[in-house]
Structure 1
Amino acid sequence: MEIHVFDTYVTASDGHTMHFDVFTSENDLKKAIGYAKKWLDSINETDAQVSSNECRFCHSQNAPTNVIDDIRQHGFYIYKMEGCPEA
């Protein structure tokens, strides 16, 4: 499955920057922003700003099985990089 990667930088409520990618099966910025907000809500960062300024299409690539499974189940996968809470 080819996925689309949206590079995202968000300021957390305590002021630090969270860097993560939103992986989706559709190259749709509005959906990627919605998925980013949904994930941020799930980690109690409901006030974080997410727009096309913070979330931008980066590239498309093939995905490993665990990512495909999450996208099929939830519509998206969050790849955490810097400043993100551990699962």
Structure 2
Amino acid sequence: MKIAVWDTYVTKKDGSVMHFDILAPEEIKDTTVIYGYGKAYLKTKGQDGQPLTSKECRFCHVETLRPNWDADIKKQGYFIIEMENCN
């Protein structure tokens, strides 16, 4: 399976910037779905309500599915790779 990587930078409520990647099956092209995944993730981090649009989240590239992503993608449709300031 091929996985699309969406590079995402969201300004947190404290003004710092979170950087994370949203990974989803390549066939999902609807940005509303991708942004929904990002918003669900933000909610788990206490950052619900923060803007997540094409300004914050852009398609980056396609990768081959890795085993450690598989369970989350099957369960919730996506996987998040935390890069910076995600705590």
Which consecutive residues of structure 2, in runs of 5 or more, have no partner in the other structure? none
State the superposition RMSD in angstroms. 1.0
Alignment-derived partner of residue 8 in structure 2: 8
**Larger deviation: 26-35 or 38-47?**
26-35
| In 1: Cα distance, 2:67 partner to 2:38 partner | 21
| In 2: Cα distance, 1:79 partner to 1:29 partner | 18
For the Cα contact (< 8 Å) 1:29–1:56, is it kept in 2? Answer: no
Matched, 1:43 2:34: no
Number of equivalenced pairs: 85
CA shift for structure 1 position 30: 1.8
The one of 54, 61, 75 aligned to 1:73: 75
Deviations 1:23-57 (A, max 9, x none): 00123322111100001011110121100110000
Normalising by structure 1, report the TM-score: 0.91
Moved over 4 A (4+): none
Q: Between the two proteins, what is the percent identity of the paired residues?
A: 40
The amino acid across from 2:76 in the alignment is H
Normalising by structure 2, report the TM-score: 0.91
For the Cα contact (< 8 Å) 2:45–2:86, is it kept in 1? Answer: no
Alignment-derived partner of residue 22 in structure 1: 22
